[in-house]
Amino acid sequence: MALNAWSEGGTGMAIEAELKAVVRDPEHVLTQLEEQYGAGRAEVYRDTYYDAPDGSLMGADRELRIRTVHAPDDTRTVLTYKGARVDEASGSKWEAETRVEDSEAVHEIIRGIGFTSRIQFEKRCRNYAFERDGRQCLATLVRVPELDATFIEVETAEATPDGLGAALDTVRAVLVDLGIGEDDLTTELYTDAVAAART
């Protein structure tokens, strides 16, 4: 999720420089997050991923998602488009995201122009926003009820491919501080993992 869209408003296209890892010791990582970044923000994401009828959008490694976020003090919906990966090792992608006022209307619009709902699922998240190396960062501890695992996502935004390496260095440093190693990293998409679990 684009960082400024996570707070308020929308954003132009930027690279979501992100690493995702399986968490072997969730209690330890949660303690580290709380000690380093303060109390997290508990939110439930309800995601719907859309595709062209022939599967060509996801087939080209692109994503079109409507996410409704349920937080303790508000509910909001965001529309997100992600391009194909610009870095295979991390799975980082170009992303554009904006908040929408009417969740039902945006679903109707997406369906009306010919896209179909491909998969829906829920993520239970705890978010931590902070600054590192002069960058706005977001760490998210994630549980997906259908998957028998806990994940950590750490991301920051980068405007150009040339800066992606430095952005990912910052993200890796955050993960190291949390006790997450390179062997824990994964590029498997939640959409693929949930689809596999359902079959």
> In the prediction, which pLDDT does 12 show?
67
Confirm if 69 and 133 have CB atoms less than 8 A apart: no
What are the residue ranges spanned by the domains of the chain?
A: 3-198
Phi, psi of 85 (to 5 degrees): -60, 140
In the structure encoding, which two tokens stand for residue 118, read together?
Answer: 């491909």
> In the prediction, which pLDDT does 4 show?
43
> In the prediction, which pLDDT does 13 show?
86
- 80, 84, 93: which is closest to 56 by C-alpha? 84
Q: How many Å apart are CA 117 and CA 119, to the nearest integer?
A: 6
Q: How many Å apart are CA 15 and CA 18, to the nearest integer?
A: 9
Q: How many Å apart are CA 90 and CA 85, to the nearest integer?
A: 9
* CATH match of 3-198 with 2.40.320.10: yes
pTM: 0.90
Q: Classify strands 150-158 and 41-51 as parallel, antiparallel or unpaired.
A: unpaired
Residue owning tokens 């945006």 = 106
188 pLDDT tier (thresholds 50, 70, 90): very high
Q: Looking at the predicted structure, is the pLDDT value of residue 1 above 60?
A: no
Mean pLDDT score, 2-7: 43
